A and B are shown apart, each in its own frame.
Chain A
Amino acid sequence: MERDTHFVTGVYEDEDVLLHAIKQVRSSGIQIHEVYSPYPVHGIDDYLGYKRSRLPIAAFLFGLLGTTLALTMQYYMMAFDWPMIIGGKDFGSLPTFIPVTFELTVLLASFGMVGVFMVSTDLKPWAQPRIFDLRITDDKHVMAIDIANNSAIELAKIEEILKSSGASEVNKKSFE
């Protein structure tokens, strides 16, 4: 996959300034590539206009898979493959299957959710993360803007908008 390599970054000191800046930058027609911050900023996804994650749907479907798997597995084992009388109960006695069903539902829902999350965010162990600014792990918020995606607007204009929105620094960042 061809990835863009040239970016302009705005460095912000404060989350309130950052949120206002996002609003301002977006309203001036600039597309924001991504915003990085050292801690979760409340409500930032609304400001960035992100759609809600569809992860819960994946979790539900994986949970459903777990439920089905657990019930069929136990029913097959206990009633067909190797029927045994335990405690005088029927071979296929639903209440006794519930604890395992519950556990497998939770297990598959959570593992499936983690898996889908990692795939959808490209968070594989060998992935090379692109660090736009080392200080995002410390105390700075950084807004990255893809130059190629905003070719309609002059570079100098973008930098000016970032500056006026409250960025303490405006830098360029290129990746190999």
Chain B
Amino acid sequence: MAHDVQHYNLDQKFDFTAATKKGLFTVLGIGAILLIIGIIMAIFGGGHAEAGAAEGHAFHWYQRLYANLWINNVYYTGIAIIGVFFFAIQYAAQAGWSAAIIRVMLSLGNWLPIAGVLMIVTFFVASHDLFHWTHASLFDKASADYDSIIDGKGAFFYWPMAKGTFPIFFVIRMVLFFGFWVFFFKKFQSLTYNEDLAGGTSSWYTIRSWSAYFLIFFAVSSSVAAWDWVMSIDTHWFSTLFGWYVFSSWFVAGLATMTLLILFLKGQGLLEMVNENHVHDLGKFIFGFTIFWTYLWFSQFLLIYYANIPEESVYFLERLSSDIYGPFIFVNLAMNFVLPFLLLMTRDSKRHGVFLKLVCLMIIAGHWVDFFLMVQPGTLGHNGGVGFMEVGMFLVYGAAFTFVVLSGLAKGKLVPKNHPMLEESYNHHI
């Protein structure tokens, strides 16, 4: 390709305007109103209190609030860490095409410190309502509630303390994961901004080394986080590919979020070096990993369905045979596989922003449904469902997440002007 000299503004910054803020606060407000309506309905609706009482577990309205907090904690943490992960992947793979947009990817990580605090606080407030294994009587052989299966798994949560006391191992893991994730995020951020001042290629090599360390840590931590935060809700049940399954869900949602963010910034007249070729590649990533998610979802389902071992199939039985969750299994597959697969198949649909934006929004909502299906059946059972509270909480978290990410992005320059592969990024052509 003819290498014409490019004259782009490399010192551009994202301006977090009052109009954008107003838009976000509107979403936040709508979300908050829906959330409050949902809470009021849950308090006075009672949520099948008589049915719950008959089983010996009285249902409280705040359980549904906790479950919603937990869904969004896990979901938005995932999107945030995927931003850092994808940034690291670019360096580990020595990718040149993405040089102009790596800081947008990294900016998703701004949510991580807040996500960590929210998750730890939610855990301490709501552990008994979310996690069955936090009840001490399960580990007491003298108790009628004694559960030998959970007792066998107890060390995973409580070691080195006595089972049923304080889940020290679980909490340490949570703190450790967030600590390291935030550390790596801050490290990448300072290194990439230092590159603007220092120039040369040494920053690139340093970031690449740190990326390798991060990817090793993330490979382990993302899987264990999925067991800890999601799979342990259904304490008896386990699936060996659950870590990958959660990761793939996070990954598709994260890719959709960063694509939306890049298209939004382009709409603001920024990132003019990012053209339809870059957008096309992001679209291909979304398309490809949509299929990857489906592959993992189906692998998990098919083996459980075919083997039909009661302790495994209970997971899908609980969902498919329920009036509340059954339809959402199909909504989940439609929003996260069938529609994106058909809509993103052609070249034009991946290159044209408007179309891609719609699909991205659908995928972000779709993977929320995926996490909804992972968390609510195990925590709320027949008291769950998608109502005002669910939509409201999703919007509140979404607006807060976007606000934090955009204000983080506005602090630094948008383009890594001394990135050694920036020129390659300009000339990216597919």
Q: Which residues of A contact B (CB under 8 A)?
A: 16, 19-20, 42-43, 52, 56, 60, 87-89, 95-96, 98-99
Q: Given the interface contacts A52-B347, A56-B347, does A96 sit within 8 Å of B306 by beta carbon? A: yes
Cβ distance B96 to chain A, nearest Cβ, rounded Å: 13
Cβ distance A61 to chain B, nearest Cβ, rounded Å: 12
7 sampled A-B residue pairs with Cβ under 8 A: A42-B1, A87-B306, A87-B307, A87-B308, A89-B306, A95-B305, A99-B302
Docked-complex contact B1 and A43, CB < 8 angstroms: yes
Docked-complex contact A56 and B301, CB < 8 angstroms: no
With A and B bound together, what is the CA distance between A101 and B344 in angstroms? 21
Other-chain residue from A16, A19, A88 in contact with B308 (beta carbon distance below 8 A):
A88
- List the 8 closest A-B pairs by CB distance, nearest first: A43-B1, A95-B305, A43-B429, A42-B1, A42-B429, A95-B302, A16-B2, A87-B306
Docked-complex contact A95 and B301, CB < 8 angstroms: yes
Other-chain residue from B3, B298, B429 in contact with A98 (beta carbon distance below 8 A):
B298
Interface check B346, CB cutoff 8 A: yes
Interface check B345, CB cutoff 8 A: yes
Q: How many A-B pairs fall under 8 Å by CB?
A: 30
Docked-complex contact A19 and B2, CB < 8 angstroms: yes
With A and B bound together, what is the CA distance between A14 and B308 in angstroms? 64
Q: Which residues of B contact A (CB under 8 A)?
A: 1-3, 298, 301-302, 305-308, 345-347, 429
With A and B bound together, what is the CA distance between A78 and B353 in angstroms? 45
Residue of A nearest to B345 (CB): A60
Known: A56-B347, A89-B306, A98-B298. 13 other contacts (CB 8 A): A19-B1, A19-B2, A42-B1, A43-B1, A43-B429, A56-B346, A60-B345, A87-B306, A88-B308, A95-B301, A95-B302, A95-B305, A98-B302
Q: Which residues of A contact B1 (CB under 8 A)?
A: 16, 19, 42-43
Cβ distance B284 to chain A, nearest Cβ, rounded Å: 13
Residue of A nearest to B305 (CB): A95
With A and B bound together, what is the CA distance between A95 and B346 in angstroms? 27
With A and B bound together, what is the CA distance between A16 and B347 in angstroms? 27
With A and B bound together, what is the CA distance between A98 and B337 in angstroms? 14
Q: Which residues of A contact B306 (CB under 8 A)?
A: 87, 89, 95-96
Residue of B nearest to A63 (CB): B345
Cβ distance B352 to chain A, nearest Cβ, rounded Å: 15
Cβ distance A166 to chain B, nearest Cβ, rounded Å: 13
Q: Which residues of B contact A56 (CB under 8 A)?
A: 346-347
With A and B bound together, what is the CA distance between A88 and B307 in angstroms? 10
Q: Which residues of A contact B302 (CB under 8 A)?
A: 95-96, 98-99
Cβ distance B302 to chain A, nearest Cβ, rounded Å: 6
With A and B bound together, what is the CA distance between A99 and B429 in angstroms? 35
Q: Which residues of B contact A96 (CB under 8 A)?
A: 302, 305-306
With A and B bound together, what is the CA distance between A115 and B2 in angstroms? 35
Q: Which residues of A contact B2 (CB under 8 A)?
A: 16, 19-20
Q: Which residues of A contact B3 (CB under 8 A)?
A: 16
* Residue with the greatest number of chain A CB neighbours at <10 A, chosen from B2, B3, B308, B345: B2
Q: Which residues of A contact B345 (CB under 8 A)?
A: 60
Residue of A nearest to B346 (CB): A56
With A and B bound together, what is the CA distance between A131 and B347 in angstroms? 33
With A and B bound together, what is the CA distance between A58 and B137 in angstroms? 63
Cβ distance B147 to chain A, nearest Cβ, rounded Å: 28
